[in-house]
Amino acid sequence: MFESVFHQYSWDEVKRSIYSKTAADVERALLKPKRSLEDFKALVSPAALTYLEQMAQLSHLATQKRFGKTLQMYAPLYLSNECQNICTYCAFSLDNKIPRRTLTDTEILQEVAVLKEMGYDHVLLVTGEANHTVGVPYLKNAIELIRPHFAHISMEVQPLDQDAYEVLMEAGLHTVLVYQETYHQENYKLHHPKGKKSNFSYRLSTPDRLGKAGIYKMGLGVLIGLEDWRTDCFYTALHLDYLEKTYWQTKYSISFPRLRPIEVGTSEQSALKSFNTYMTDKELVQLICAYRLLKEEVELSLSTRESERFRDHVIKLGITSISAGSKTNPGGYAVEPQSLEQFEISDERSPQEIAQMIRRQGYEPVWKDWDRSFQVK
C-alpha cells in the first residue's frame, strides 16, 4: 500500500530538499535520458525557472514522440451538487447554503444530448460526495444510462471501496479521477474539517483500491494553492511512481487544478470567494514540463480553469487532454444553466472553437479516449 511509502517521507524534509536544489542539479537532470524523483525535485525547484525554455523544448519533443500531434477532448457532466463534506475551497461544501440538485434519468439524457451535439464521445461524470443521494446505486444507474452514448466514461466522485469500483466497472466505467487535494497530512484536516473526506488515510489509499479492482485508467493530482505546490507535486510524483510499478496494467493521468473563485451564500445574497493560488503561469508551465520529463508515458490534462491565452500557448509543451465548453453545475448544459457552479471557469470558448484552435496549431482534436473494440476481455 502507498501509505507505507508515504510515511517514509517527511513533508518538511522534502520541502527543504526541493528548495535547496541548485542550477547544477537542474543541468544534470536535463542531460539525463531517464530521470529520477530526485531529478524531479530539481525540475520543480526555483532554480529550474531559468531553464524553462530548455525544459519546454525537451517536453515538447517527448510528448510528440509518445502521443504524436493529437489532443484528446473531454467534457464534465455534473450529476449532483449534494455533498456531506465541508471543504474550505468548494462551492458544494455542506456549510454553503445553496439550492441542491441531483439530476433525474430524464435530465441526465437531456444533458447527454447536448454533449453529443457538441461532438463529444468521452464524458467525465462529477458529483459532490454524498453517499446516500449519489451512492453506488445512483452512479451505476447513471453509467448504464449513458453507456450507449459514449465510448469512454470517466468519473470523479467520492472515494469508494474496491468492490464498489468493480460493480461500476462492470456497468461501463473506464477511468476514475481521485485527487488527494493535498498530501500535507497535518493541514489536510484544516481544509476538510467535516465529512468522510476528512479521513486522510482512506482517501490516500483510494488509488490502491482502484489498482486492485483493475481499473483501465486513473487520474491523480492535488489542488494547487492549498499548500506549497512544489512539495505537494513531489508527493503526487511519488504516488504515481509507486502506482506504475505496482499496478502496471493501469494507465495514468495527472491534472493541474489551480484554485478558482467560488460563489458562497444563498441565491438571494451571494458573493465570490477568491484564493491566492501561490503559483504563477510560468510556474505552471514549469510543472507541466517537469512531469513530462519525469514520465513520458503519463497523460497530462488541462481544464477550463485556465485562461484562453494560457491554454493556447501550453498545449504543445506536454498536455495531452483538454476540456472545452465545460459547465460545473448539475444541469448546466440544458436543464438548469443558471444553477450554482462548483467553481468559476476561465476559458469559456465552445468545443468547436477549441478544436479550431488545436487544428491551427497543427494538432488533431480527438473526441474520445479509446475504442471499446480494443478492450482486453
In a domain, 327, yes or no: yes
pLDDT in tens, 9-60: 999 999 999 999 999 999 999 999 999 999 999 999 999 999 999 999 999 9
In a domain, 14, yes or no: yes
Q: What is the mean pLDDT of residues 234-262?
A: 91
State the DSSP H helix or E strand holding residue 364, giving kind and residue range, or none if neither: strand 364-366
Round to whole Å and give the CA distance between 295 and 168.
29
Mean pLDDT of the chain: 90
Round to whole Å and give the CA distance between 205 and 247.
13
In a domain, 315, yes or no: yes
Lowest mean pLDDT among 89-93, 229-233, 335-339, 341-345: 341-345
Could you give the percent of the chain with pLDDT greater than 90?
75
Alpha-carbon dihedral angle through residues 225, 226, 231, 232, given to the nearest 10 degrees: -100
pLDDT for residue 338 = 59
pLDDT for residue 339 = 55
Q: Which residues constitute the domain of residue 97?
A: 2-369
Residue 156 one-letter amino acid: E
pTM value? Answer: 0.91
pLDDT in tens, 269-294: 444 344 455 789 999 999 999 999 99
pLDDT for residue 269 = 41
State the DSSP H helix or E strand holding residue 262, giving kind and residue range, or none if neither: strand 262-265
* Structural domain count of the chain: 1
Residue ranges of alpha helices (H) inside 184-269 are: 185-191, 200-204, 206-213, 229-246
369 burial (CB, 10 Å; 0-12 / 13-18 / 19+) is buried
Beta bridge partners of 321: 72, 301
User: CATH no. for residue 89?
Assistant: 3.20.20.70
State the DSSP H helix or E strand holding residue 173, giving kind and residue range, or none if neither: none
Residues 6 or more apart whose Cβ sits within 8 Å of residue 250: 210, 211, 214, 215, 216, 217, 218, 243
In a domain, 374, yes or no: no
In a domain, 377, yes or no: no
- Quickly state the pLDDT bin for 336 (edges 50, 70, 90): confident
pLDDT in tens, 356-365: 999 999 999 9
Round to whole Å and give the CA distance between 11 and 241.
17
End-to-end CA distance of the chain: 27
Residue 255 one-letter amino acid: S
In a domain, 375, yes or no: no
Mapping DSSP onto H, E and C, the string for 244-258 reads HHHCCCCEEEEECCE
Question: Of residues 345 and 211, which shows the higher confidence score?
Answer: 211
Whether the per-residue pLDDT at 340 is higher than 80: the answer is no
Beta bridge partners of 175: 154, 217
**Quick check: 160 and 153 in contact, CB under 8 A?**
no
Round to whole Å and give the CA distance between 94 and 86.
5
In a domain, 376, yes or no: no
Question: Of residues 135 and 272, which shows the higher confidence score?
Answer: 135
